[in-house]
Chains A and B, each alone.
Chain A
């Protein structure tokens, strides 16, 4: 005989009683463990999807920069790589169309890859043949969207890469896109990794198409070409993406990470040539100088910086130059007629900004210049303007970036020096080569980048062009030049190299070699988009998931878990009450209260531990069921059917531990009932029972919790509860909802306890009063039973009431749609601003269909990851939109927790620099304000107002975005919004406008969307109603709610089981009492009515308090326009619960009234 023996004997003897508590624990463990396994499974599935999506692609270079075929060859020749390990490709955004006329179908935002056998060999292609020239291979999503099958023809619209940035004054905007007809050669099955190939992680299948690399390069003029008449200098083949299999270079067991990427980037640096950077060194043998210039016309800031640093290493002196086109220059103070008659003016010439010492290198003294000074060359001053030193001239020009879209600028200068046409003044390298302009024979031959007024061009201009082409006619100090002609693309058009102290370079070959090596060594490859990224490792890291499914399921299972805990406490307590005399005896025999408690706690713990083990096993089944639901019924929440069951021992252990801890707590609570009961009472089979004081306590709970809940509700209604994150991704508003709900439930149950404690006196004249008195007899038991029902009801009602119907929201300024009707996105950015009349004219957005447009906001776009709730992966910097000033002024949209009259204006308020937290060499970094949708900020990016996110990434930040406000339920989910000026500073190369919001009358919706898509089909524009876009986001939320409704159903099942157990226990306890009633003549029906009244009372109280608590807690939501609570369905569910509870009770009564009266009275 031992304590263990006693415990084991008790366990076996009371096995039926324990079984109920065991099942309760099992239910809790199944729910918690299941939730954690769902989390594991989603993570593992996302990981698998990543591996499938990327195939053998471990590292990638896809910064948008076009590199040469030569670089690819040199990389592939590198150590550790096979030729087919390095795959060049084109990675473009395209719009696809199919069909004609009214039946035309479009799919925008398609990831179009130009592929040859090398990329195809790296992908999982499910034996689909790669596309030949003239062919395209689509994935299922694109084929379905276009309604095409193999053999059909589709048209692809892509942006033609431009050497000169699209936004620059001198770029050609007219031929911005190319349209290519291709035949569908194959449709990739969804199971093929190639069907979801995308460097941005997302579980949803993206729109993907593959075209033949060479064919696509021919169209985009990127294929290699030998010199010919049409291409005098020939052309180097280029691609903008390189995908690499680490292959033998990496350990097969590990996914190549940062180290591998850095190693490859180092290899790439060694293999780089100036051609890869689209720069060249131009010799001026006459002056003994070298000049670095770019095909882009302006040197990007990181390149210019490296070029200047390189000079030092190469033993040279560097001087930046900055040139721009002026429209006209005229003398001031000369009559207009004289200017016109004598052609004392000049048009379309270059103004150069140079450093003072460059003058010195020409052997002349630099002039004394102030901000109003200008230096003219002799030709301009003498031959054209007829001015001398100290005369005034007026210069007119277009903004370098805004071009002809903005008004012409002008300024009056004083001529401070006139330089003769020799030396530095006639250095042909001052103006870099711009194809179509600097190489034109005459002005008439210019490839006009904007509508030029050739009437402005004088004969002298023509003659000058013949002799000197684009040689600058006017000079300014470089700083002044940069100030007057600012550009987001850079601040140098070339770098002049001389020997030290302005001396001549004698050995050009040696100098070029030294300079090239030093320049490439100094380059910040990451900033130039030339650093390889470990895309597979990054994808796997992102697969850790932005959406914590385990947390989500545990959170929404909270009430279910609570129900299970209450059930366990109830059942354990019922079991102990039955064994009160046993406990009394143990005390009487000398066991200390602690020993007795330990004995029964051990017994309880063994029960819950076994229950936990059973539940842990059941958790696997439960998780499998949930995953089946997520793959089928609730696929809208996760957007992928590729979910499979996966679990980690830790999840199982945590699920087991939490459920057992909760159940042990419930057991401990059950034991408390015996704590203050006297041994004598226990021996008599009594427990402490209901005390008078309990009623007072219940009253306090009811009043206290009720008051706090009302205060919380009031605070929510008047907007005092912030929407920012409280902790672990939960917002304060969510916490307020749960707290209000819990408090209201506690208040309702306290009220029940209080009411029952009043023990209605007098003769019970009705069955109801007798039932009430019966319920009052075991008050705690009754309150717990009602609580069990109330918890599950709360979850069901809250989930049902939280549904939203976005279609209810018509365009309204202060709503999630901001008053806009349509949202349109372009695959290739529009080169003209469609929000201006001139831009709309250029884009051909004219005619009756477009007259209905009341307002149009055009945003610049820097593509990034999708951070909306549609993406389960953890994302880095999401897509950033540049908000135009007009939108900032217009305001609108619903904001949360953003105290400002027009929160958009927060985007224009500068923020102080931040200390550099990353690896940058700068000590402080600039901080720019951003707005974002609350859902995106809170759940995807884990940011709140005041938080910062690094640009472009945490590893190498160059700036920070600081959240200054949160939009509420807006169309802007998944993106960040920054002011256009800040956007241009941060992302100078993201030209054009690719995101449009259109305000127009509702009735024009369909026609306008079709018209926009039609006219802008070359840019792959996709337009849809803003309401539908918001609806797709809300569909996710509503699907989650369906999932949790199912959990609520499980909770109700537990509740009903608990109710049945309690009623059975009540009836069993009162068997003799009921038998007596039968003996004195009460019919079976009367007795059943008596018991059922008690059940009905508890059921109605539980249902009503759960419903009311949920509705009141959700009052702030329900008062909104888009609430879509399914009242009828919800009501029917509650009715079904009531019926199930009554049936359970009826079953217990039936058992009781079947027992023979005499035997029962004898206590047998």
Chain B
């Protein structure tokens, strides 16, 4: 059973009398543990596809199956629960809550489904240790560097051990060295957790490190051969 199965997914936007089709009959599948990168020029719908998969933006047409389920058919509450359990997000901007410490930020996704336990706190500490942020655990995001914030955001995405990790330009705001580190962590952590990783990026360096690459153009997606 594929972790992600998209069939003929389309997305159109309406602005006044004008209709813009961003995605047109996209079909793709990703197996559990796959690490897939989506590339393409700006505005072709890469992020839109990511948000459709992440249940943050509904498709206009087509079928979205995640782990054999069709969560877009669920009501909002069930959808949110599904997202909390199965999907982790890493954004271009870290979106850490400024009022919380790093550890607390990591634990926010846990709150979506239940109360935080000691085990959750231990896992947060473990993740922070894994990305080298143990010493920053009680700091607020305002005191962290850009790379540190993104690493913390990566940990937060993995706190619920989701089956699917979605990353939207995770290194877009970082300098090359830091981007390299964050990219490595992203792939390593996803692999360690046996999580399906779907990443959108403009960074060819990052894209080249993914075993599978999809290219966007004209509203559709095509499989690119490694090395091309």
Asked whether A3 lies within 8 Å of B91 as measured between CB atoms, the reply is: no
For the A-B complex, the count of residue pairs with Cβ-Cβ distances under 8 Å equals: 95
A590 to B84, Cβ gap below 8 A?
Answer: yes
Interface flag for A594 (CB, 8 Å): yes
A680 with B95: in contact, given A9-B100, A590-B85 (CB under 8 Å)?
no
Instruction: Name the contact of A592 in the complex, choosing from B81, B95, B109, B156 (C-beta under 8 A).
Output: B81
Cβ-defined partner of A3 (8 Å) among B83, B98, B111, B120: B111
Given A590-B83, A679-B57: A1 touches B89 (CB 8 Å cut-off): no
Other-chain residue from B99, B108, B109 in contact with A13 (beta carbon distance below 8 A): B99
A897 in the interface (beta carbon within 8 A) = no
Q: What string of 1s and 0s marks CB contacts (under 8 Å) between A668-697 and chain B? A: 000000000011100100000000100000
Asked if B104 and A683 make an inter-chain contact with CB atoms under 8 angstroms apart, the answer reads no
Q: Give the contacting residue for B116; candidates A2, A14, A593; CB below 8 A.
A: A2
Interface residues of A in 568-598 (CB under 8 A from B): 581-582, 584-595
A5 at the interface (CB under 8 A from B): yes
| Shortest distance between the CB of A758 and any CB in chain B (Å) | 14
Cβ distance A590 to chain B, nearest Cβ, rounded Å:
2
CB of B80 within 8 A of CB of A593, answer yes
Residue pair A1, B104 in contact (C-beta under 8 Å): yes
Contact A1 B121 (CB under 8 A): yes
Answer yes or no: B129 CB below 8 A from chain A CBs.
no
Select from chain B the residue with minimum beta-carbon distance to A594: B77
Collect the chain A residues with CB atoms within 8 Å of residue B104's CB.
Answer: 1, 5-6, 9
Cross-interface CB contact of B97 among A12, A585, A678, A692, cutoff 8 Å: A585
Q: Is the CB of A590 within 8 A of B81?
A: yes
CB contacts (< 8 Å) of A382 on chain B: these are none
CB < 8 Å: which of B56, B89, B95 contacts A581?
B95
User: Is there contact, CB below 8 Å, between A589 and B109?
Assistant: yes
Cα A779 to Cα B220 in complex, Å, equals 38
Contacts of A370 in B (CB 8 A): none
- Partner of B108 from A586, A593, A692 at Cβ < 8 Å: A586
On chain A, the residues within 8 Å of B16 by CB distance are: 692
A594 to B77, CA, bound (A): 8
Out of A5, A9, A589, A680, which one reaches B156, CB within 8 Å? A589
Instruction: State whether B111 touches A591 (Cβ < 8 A).
Output: yes
Q: Does B210 have its Cβ within 8 Å of any Cβ on chain A?
A: no
Identify which of B87, B91, B121 contacts A590 (C-beta below 8 A).
B87
Q: In whole angstroms, what is the CA distance A680 to B22 when docked?
A: 15
Q: Please, how many angstroms separate the alpha-carbon atoms of A1016 and B107 in the complex?
A: 93
Interface pair A587/B97, CB less than 8 Å apart: no
Residue of chain A at shortest CB distance from B107: A1
CB atoms of A589 and B76 under 8 A apart: no
A807 within 8 A of B: no
CA distance A592 to B75 in the complex (A): 10
Q: In the complex, what distance in Å separates the CA atom of A305 from the CA atom of B79?
A: 87
Residue on A with the closest CB to B103? A1
**Cα-based distance from A692 to B14 in the complex (angstroms):** 12
Q: Tell whether, in the assembled complex, residue A6 and residue B54 are in contact, meaning their CB atoms are under 8 Å apart.
A: no
Kindly state the separation between the CA atoms of A589 and B153 in the bound complex, as whole angstroms.
Answer: 11
Assess the B95–A683 pair: CB atoms within 8 A: yes
A10 at interface, CB cutoff 8 A:
yes
Closest to B77 in A: A592
* Chain A hits for B110, CB < 8 A: 1
Bound CA–CA A671/B122 (angstroms):
35
In the complex the two chains form, is B81's CB within 8 Å of A582's CB? no
In angstroms, Cα B81 to Cα A3, docked, is 16
User: How many angstroms from the CA of A589 to the CA of B95 in the assembled complex?
Assistant: 11
Find residues 1-54 in chain A having any chain B CB closer than 8 Å to their own CB.
1-3, 5-6, 9-10, 12-14
| Residue B113 CB within 8 A of the other chain | yes
In the complex, chain B residues whose CB is within 8 Å of the CB of A6: 97, 99-100, 104, 108, 111
- Cβ–Cβ contact B80 & A590, under 8 A: yes
- Tell me if B115 and A2 are in contact (CB < 8 A): yes
B116 touches A587 (CB 8 A): no
Write the chain B residue with the least CB distance to A692: B16
Q: Count of B residues near A, CB < 8 Å?
A: 38
Q: Which residues of the partner chain A approach B1 to less than 8 Å between Cβ atoms?
A: none
Closest to A11 in B: B99
Contacts of B51 in A (CB 8 A): 679-680
| Chain A residues near B76 (CB-CB < 8 A) | 592-594
Please tell me if the beta carbons of B100 and A591 are within 8 angstroms of each other in the complex.
Answer: no
B120 cross-chain contacts in A, Cβ below 8 A: 1
Give Cα A13–Cα B105 distance, bound, in whole angstroms. 14
| B106-159 interface with A by 8 A CB criterion | 107-113, 115-116, 120-121, 156
B99 adjacent to A9 (CB under 8 Å): yes
CB of A983 to closest CB in B, whole Å: 74
Provide the bound-state CA to CA distance between A590 and B100, in Å: 18
In the complex, A594→B113 CA distance in Å?
13
Q: Are A679 and B56 neighbours in the complex by a CB distance under 8 Å?
A: yes
Chain A's closest residue to B75 (CB) is: A592
Interface residues of A in 331-372 (CB under 8 A from B): none
Let me know if B111 and A2 touch, CB within 8 A: yes
Task: Identify the closest chain B residue to A13 (Cβ).
Answer: B99
Q: How near does chain B come to A969, taking the closest CB pair, in angstroms?
A: 58
Given contacts A595-B80, A595-B112, A692-B16, contact A587 B56 (CB under 8 A): yes
Cβ of B57 and Cβ of A590 under 8 Å apart? no
CA distance A12 to B121 in the complex (A): 23
Distance of A275 from chain B, by nearest CB (Å): 89
- The closest CB in chain B to the CB of A586 belongs to B108
**Which has the most chain A C-beta neighbours within 10 Å: B83, B111, B113, B116?**
B111
Question: Who on chain B is nearest to A14 by CB?
Answer: B99
Q: What is the minimal beta-carbon distance from B156 to any residue of chain A, in angstroms? A: 7
Q: Is the CB of B97 within 8 A of A588?
A: no
Q: Which of A584, A593, A680 neighbours the largest number of chain B CB atoms within 10 Å of its CB?
A: A680
Instruction: Specify the chain B residue showing the minimal Cβ separation from A593.
Output: B76
Asked whether A589 lies within 8 Å of B99 as measured between CB atoms, the reply is no
Cβ contacts under 8 Å, A2 to chain B: 111, 115-116
B99 touches A10 (CB 8 A): yes
Q: How far is the CB of A680 from chain B (nearest CB, A)?
A: 5
CA distance A589 to B85 in the complex (A): 9
Interface centre among A585, A593, A595, A680 (most CB of B within 10 A): A585
Report chain B residues within 8 Å CB of A594.
76-77
In the complex, which of the residues B77, B80, B81 contacts A587, with contact meaning CB atoms closer than 8 Å?
A: B80
Whole-angstrom CA separation of A581 from B115 in the bound complex: 23
**Contacts A5-B104, A9-B99 hold; do A590 and B109 have CB atoms under 8 A apart?**
yes
| A1 near B111: Cβ-Cβ < 8 Å | yes
> A586-618 CB contact bits vs B (8 Å, 1 = yes)?
111111111100000000000000000000000
Contacts of B108 in A (CB 8 A): 1, 6, 585-586, 589
Q: Which of chain A's residues have a CB closer than 8 A to the CB of B80?
A: 587, 590-593, 595
Known: A1-B107, A6-B100, A13-B99. A589 touches B89 (CB 8 A): yes
Residues in chain A near residue B89, CB distance under 8 A: 588-589
Question: B84 to chain A: which residues have CB within 8 Å?
Answer: 589-591
CB distance from B147 to the nearest CB of A (A): 19
B104 to chain A, nearest CB (A): 5
Bound state CA distance, A911 and B77, in angstroms? 67
Which residues of chain A are within 8 angstroms of B83 by Cβ–Cβ distance? 588-590
Is A680 touching B112 in the complex (CB atoms < 8 A)?
Answer: no
A589 proximity list for chain B (CB < 8 A):
83-84, 89, 108-109, 112, 156
> CB-CB < 8 A to A12: which residues of B?
99
Which residues of the partner chain A approach B109 to less than 8 Å between Cβ atoms? 589-590
Q: Is the CB of B91 within 8 A of A683?
A: yes
Enumerate 6 A-B pairs (CB-CB under 8 Å) in ascending A order.
Answer: A5-B104, A587-B56, A589-B83, A591-B80, A592-B112, A593-B80
Known A585-B108, A589-B89, A590-B109; further 12 A-B contacts with Cβ < 8 A: A1-B103, A1-B121, A9-B100, A13-B99, A581-B95, A588-B54, A588-B95, A589-B112, A591-B84, A592-B76, A679-B57, A680-B57
- Give B residues with C-beta under 8 Å from A: 16, 47, 51, 54, 56-57, 76-77, 79-81, 83-85, 87, 89, 91, 93, 95, 97-100, 103-104, 107-113, 115-116, 120-121, 156, 160
Closest 9 pairs between A and B when the two form their complex, measured CB to CB: A590-B84, A13-B99, A592-B80, A590-B112, A1-B107, A679-B56, A9-B99, A585-B95, A589-B109
